[in-house]
């Protein structure tokens, strides 16, 4: 049994350690935020994780937060901690571009609900993070500012679409980041970069201000070095929002520092058919060894056959692209963002602006989505995909009557080389096979590192739970974290 010895968290760089130091007066917010800004200035040329950094705004905010802490008002367990935000989450007065030429120079007039919540909790936003254009991709290579580079190997991708978020945390630029997960966009870059992320239940975190890719699948979530930081951040960003009627949770997830001691009686299912086929040997080995850690902790780990596996990626791309084709129609050059200089008529404004403003992958998905919704094809594609989605929800309902959690790989491979798959969309899309079912069913999942493959690249696994079972998933992840090696940076 490959069980690593439990190690302590790195007491210097994780978010809860920083906030504890700030709360006890051992550290000043300005110093912590200043250190993050310095790290970004030093390192980010290498990783390209950031699209914009707000030095002055962050330092000003740091002083405000310090003042309220000094006045005895620590607004949350993460007060004073710097955080960076994926660039598809709206920040009032600060550029929000979705890494697209189309939204070049676009500055929202309002904050996303999660950003309001971060500010209220005393976190300090230091900048906006690189990603795949409009979150469409799994490698963070399609953005207009070039690819994010994996801190473990800068010739490799960081994963995506929240590649900037995972890389910035892995590189030690910031202790916390927000990503968003539509088909694996938090979990897969976390796996590629060796960090921890949570894709919350659909409806647990407000999407207000998240620039939509696929509205019925998108969900904002935390990324950090460890599960405790993620749990603390999730308790801050979750909760109902009257501006998002799909945010159906009744109250925020509670945050506790308590770690369960064992997982006796917890039933964990392992989809047998996820461990064959395309799964690389090194990844397979690492994920299976993680499942042995759970067994050692007292969990009852057993295998099952996941139905409908071959339909998942098709159903996901039909639904996601259909919604995207509609969501991205508003970028027409008339109101904000990019507008073609070559247009003279209204139809040219539309055609040229969109031809010039969107990258190849975005165009591919808009065309795919428009096709599956068009008259004569709706029933054959879109409607059928909705039926697959409904069946899948039944499958999970059944599974969660037999298991408390499902443990699976996050991606078939570890981080691949930049450029390796850019001309092969099918390979890229198949890379989402283990992550998209979770989004289609609206379920929560945590992505955790579980060692390295033969190339020395991080491997991740995911723990999937029933809707709104985040506290249980976090508890199990804590047990795993305590039994395995702790945070290791590149």
* Residues identified as active-site: 86, 161, 185
Comparing CB distances to another protein, the nearer of 86 and 156 is 86
User: Is position 119 an interface residue for another protein (rule: CB under 8 A)?
Assistant: no
Given 52, 55, 68, 216, the residue binding another protein (CB under 8 A): 216
**Range list of H helices, 328-410:** 346-357, 360-373, 384-402
**DSSP secondary structure, 281-339, as one string:** HHHHHHHHHHHHHHHHTT-EEEEEPPTTGGGHHHHHHHHHHHHHHHHGGG-SSSSSS--
Token couple for 372? 């599956």
Report the C-alpha gap between 159 and 148 in whole angstroms: 8
Q: Cβ neighbours of residue 382 under 8 Å, at least 6 residues apart? A: 318, 319, 322, 372, 373
Report the C-alpha gap between 336 and 163 in whole angstroms: 26
User: Is position 402 an interface residue for another protein (rule: CB under 8 A)?
Assistant: no
In the bound complex, what is the minimum distance in angstroms from residue 451's beta carbon to another protein? 38
Output the CA torsion 114→131→487→445 (10° steps).
60
In eight-state DSSP terms, residue 4 is P
Given 13, 19, 76, 90, the residue binding another protein (CB under 8 A): 90
**Closest listed residue to residue 173, CA positions, set 186, 188, 158, 191:** 158
Given 22, 373, 406, 477, the residue binding another protein (CB under 8 A): 373
Quick one: which H or E segment has residue 450?
A: strand 445-452
Using CB under 8 A as the binding rule, the residues of this chain from 345 to 364 that contact another protein are: 346, 350
User: Is position 334 an interface residue for another protein (rule: CB under 8 A)?
Assistant: yes
In the bound complex, what is the minimum distance in angstroms from residue 143's beta carbon to another protein? 16
Comparing CB distances to another protein, the nearer of 195 and 211 is 211
Query: Stretches 70-78, 109-117, 139-147, 254-262: which one binds another protein (CB under 8 A)?
Result: 109-117
Given 141, 173, 229, 323, the residue binding another protein (CB under 8 A): 323
Given 27, 30, 77, 106, the residue binding another protein (CB under 8 A): 106
In eight-state DSSP terms, residue 461 is E
CA–CA distances in Å: residue 339 to residues 96, 104, 274, 343, 425: 17, 10, 45, 8, 28
In the bound complex, what is the minimum distance in angstroms from residue 270's beta carbon to another protein? 32
Comparing CB distances to another protein, the nearer of 382 and 487 is 382
Given 15, 62, 85, 103, the residue binding another protein (CB under 8 A): 103
Given 378, 380, 454, 456, the residue binding another protein (CB under 8 A): 378
Comparing CB distances to another protein, the nearer of 32 and 372 is 372
CB 194 within 8 A of CB 486: no
User: Is position 308 an interface residue for another protein (rule: CB under 8 A)?
Assistant: no
Report the C-alpha gap between 190 and 200 in whole angstroms: 14
Using CB under 8 A as the binding rule, the residues of this chain from 228 to 287 that contact another protein are: 242-246, 248
**Sites of contact with another protein (CB under 8 A):** 89-90, 96, 98, 103, 106, 108-110, 112, 207-212, 214-216, 242-246, 248, 322-323, 325-326, 329-330, 332, 334-336, 346, 350, 370, 373-375, 378, 382
């Amino acid at each position: 049994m490959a069980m690593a010895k439990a190690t302590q968290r790195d007491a210097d760089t994780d978010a809860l350690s920083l906030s504890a130091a700030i709360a006890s007066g051992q550290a000043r917010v300005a110093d912590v935020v200043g250190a993050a800004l310095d790290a970004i200035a030093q390192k980010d040329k290498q990783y390209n994780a950031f699209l914009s950094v707000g030095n002055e705004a962050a330092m000003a905010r740091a002083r405000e937060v310090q003042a309220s802490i000094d006045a005895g008002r620590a607004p949350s367990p993460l007060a004073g901690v710097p955080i960076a935000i994926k660039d598809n989450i709206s920040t009032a007065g600060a550029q929000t571009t979705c890494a697209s030429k189309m939204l070049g120079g676009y500055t929202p007039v309002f904050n996303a609900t999660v950003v309001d919540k971060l500010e209220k909790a005393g976190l300090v936003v230091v900048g906006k993070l690189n990603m795949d254009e409009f979150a469409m991709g799994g490698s963070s290579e399609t953005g207009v500012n070039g690819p994010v580079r994996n801190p473990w190997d800068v010739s490799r991708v960081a994963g995506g679409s929240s590649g900037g978020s995972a890389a910035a945390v892995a590189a030690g630029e910031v202790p916390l980041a927000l990503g968003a997960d539509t088909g694996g966009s938090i979990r897969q870059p976390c796996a590629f970069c060796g960090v921890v992320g949570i894709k919350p239940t659909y409806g647990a975190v407000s999407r207000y201000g998240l620039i939509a890719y696929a509205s019925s699948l998108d969900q904002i979530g935390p990324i950090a070095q460890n599960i405790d930081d993620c749990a603390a951040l999730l308790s801050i960003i979750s909760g109902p929002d009257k501006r998002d009627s799909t945010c159906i949770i009744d109250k925020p997830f509670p945050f506790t520092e308590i770690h369960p001691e064992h997982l006796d009686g917890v039933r964990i299912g392992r989809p047998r058919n996820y461990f064959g086929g395309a799964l690389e040997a090194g990844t397979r080995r690492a994920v299976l060894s993680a499942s042995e850690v759970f067994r050692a902790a007292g969990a009852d780990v057993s295998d099952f056959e996941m139905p409908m596996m071959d339909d998942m990626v098709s159903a996901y791309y039909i639904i996601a692209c259909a919604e995207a084709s509609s969501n991205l129609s508003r970028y027409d050059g008339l109101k904000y963002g990019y507008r073609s200089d070559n247009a003279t008529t209204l139809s040219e404004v539309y055609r040229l602006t969109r031809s010039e403003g969107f990258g190849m992958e975005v165009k591919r998905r808009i065309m795919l989505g428009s096709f599956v919704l068009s008259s004569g094809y709706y029933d054959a594609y879109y409607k059928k995909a909705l039926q697959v989605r409904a069946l899948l929800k039944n499958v999970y309902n059944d599974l969660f009557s037999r298991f408390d959690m499902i443990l699976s790989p996050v991606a078939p491979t570890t981080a691949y080389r930049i450029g390796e798959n850019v001309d092969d969309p099918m390979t890229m899309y198949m890379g989402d096979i283990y992550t998209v079912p979770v989004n289609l069913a609206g379920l929560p999942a945590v992505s955790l590192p579980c060692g390295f493959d033969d190339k020395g690249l991080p491997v991740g696994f995911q723990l999937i739970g029933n809707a709104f079972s985040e506290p249980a998933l976090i508890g199990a992840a804590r047990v795993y974290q305590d039994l395995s090696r702790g945070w290791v940076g590149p």
